[in-house]
Amino acid sequence: MLRPKIPNMPTPHRLSSPPVIVEPTVVERYPSTPAPLPAPTRPTVQITPGTALVLVGGGTAVVLVVGTVLVSMLLAVAVTAASVAVCALVVRSLITTQHRR
């Protein structure tokens, strides 16, 4: 009752296709020295004095802009912290004066 039923596989009575006959193949030989390949042409970058000056100027501009952004963010954080500290002092002062009255 609790045993699984395993299906019976029917045995084949005949082959479905005839056996394949493998015939030997002929190996062709190629010349032992292949033709030389042409050298790959890669584009080369030539740096002239004008190009070097532009690169240095561009790098300097990037450094200055990034530095300015970072300093301004630091300044914004410092101003915010100072204003929060002043607000905390004012609130503390108001609370202490209420308790005295």
Q: What is the pTM of this model?
A: 0.46
Looking at residue 31, what is its pLDDT?
61
Give, rounded to a whole angstrom, the gap between the first and last alpha carbons of the chain: 91
The rounded distance, in Å, linking the Cα atoms of 72 and 38 is 56
Residue 75, pLDDT > 80, answer yes
Instruction: Give the pLDDT of residue 9.
Output: 73
User: Which tens digits make up the pLDDT trace of 8-62?
Assistant: 776 666 656 766 777 877 777 766 676 777 777 877 778 899 999 999 999 999 9
With b for 16 or more beta-carbon neighbours within 10 A and e for fewer, the 44-60 pattern comes to eeeeeeeeeeeeeeeee
Mean pLDDT of the region 81-90: 97
Backbone angles phi, psi at 79, to 5 degrees: -65, -40
> What pLDDT, on the 0 to 100 scale, is given for residue 2?
74
